[in-house]
Structure 1
């Protein structure tokens, strides 16, 4: 099966933090951010595989800073590694404080998505070709994690 560039799967979404998205401290709910991450990971994996996908696991989530009402979130996701039917997706979330125009990294995450057929059975996916130095680093880290799981 052919390999695809990370650019095939790259997906970017922008979200506005609204009052119903926040807790009593005015910060966005972590669960809301997780829902955004899961959605972009699914879209990313569908673009890579050309199939419907399911979330197999949310492997890692690091909440690094918060976002407040009126802030703009930019989510970026791309497939960094594949197995036979699974895809590891990297998602980062940045926050822009509109009034100050400052940006900060709020969340990074790794998810495993599995491509499925019309009967819900896993199907093979293309490999991935990392292009940038950061993508190559993420690919190598994913490869090392996979080796640890196989042992």
Structure 2
């Protein structure tokens, strides 16, 4: 069994000029790449196996992140299947000077654990051993209509 909080990955990416579109804000594709990487780390931490992206729910882009600022990523596993897990992802525009954040993106990625032969592998049971973990799981379920 693995506790939800053990799967939490929080990461930051500095938005460089080559990450931006002609409006000076980060490309949506870069945000998706960074989200996929953080979600994969969360899934790997949960399963103890390499994981591959199997499905991405709608990605809602809520606000831009300008060049020079920081994209803060928050990912955690909130549901486990037999060989798969669902990861909640939120991204925030973070002011690098103050740490103030505004949510910019919300999504859910599904990963499949794979063994060394690249066959689906069983995943452990997900537990919520604290009120914080249970609140995170419920927030993910609510955000994705479960």
- Give SS of 2:116's match: coil
- For residues 35 and 144 of structure 2, the distance between their equivalents in structure 1, rounded to whole angstroms, comes to 22
The aligned residue for residue 112 of structure 2 is 114
TM-score (norm 2): 0.89
* Farther-moved stretch of structure 1 (113-122 vs 89-98): 89-98
Paired residues, what number? 143
Deviations for 1:83-114, whole angstroms, at most 9, x for unmatched residues? 00000000111111335654200111100000
- For residues 125 and 98 of structure 1, the distance between their equivalents in structure 2, rounded to whole angstroms, comes to 37
Deviations for 1:32-77, whole angstroms, at most 9, x for unmatched residues? 0000010011110000000000000111211111100111111011
- Give SS of 1:60's match: coil
Structure-to-structure mapping, 1:1-150, within 5 angstroms: 3-98=1-96, 102-130=100-128, 131=130, 132=132, 133-138=134-139, 140-141=141-142, 145=146
Q: Structure 2 unaligned segments of length 5 or more: list them.
A: none
TM-score (norm 1): 0.86
8 Å Cα contact 1:82-1:88 kept in structure 2: yes
* Farther-moved stretch of structure 1 (81-90 vs 96-105): 96-105
Q: Structure 1 unaligned segments of length 5 or more: list them.
A: 146-151
The aligned residue for residue 149 of structure 1 is none
CA root-mean-square deviation: 2.0
8 Å Cα contact 2:88-2:140 kept in structure 1: no
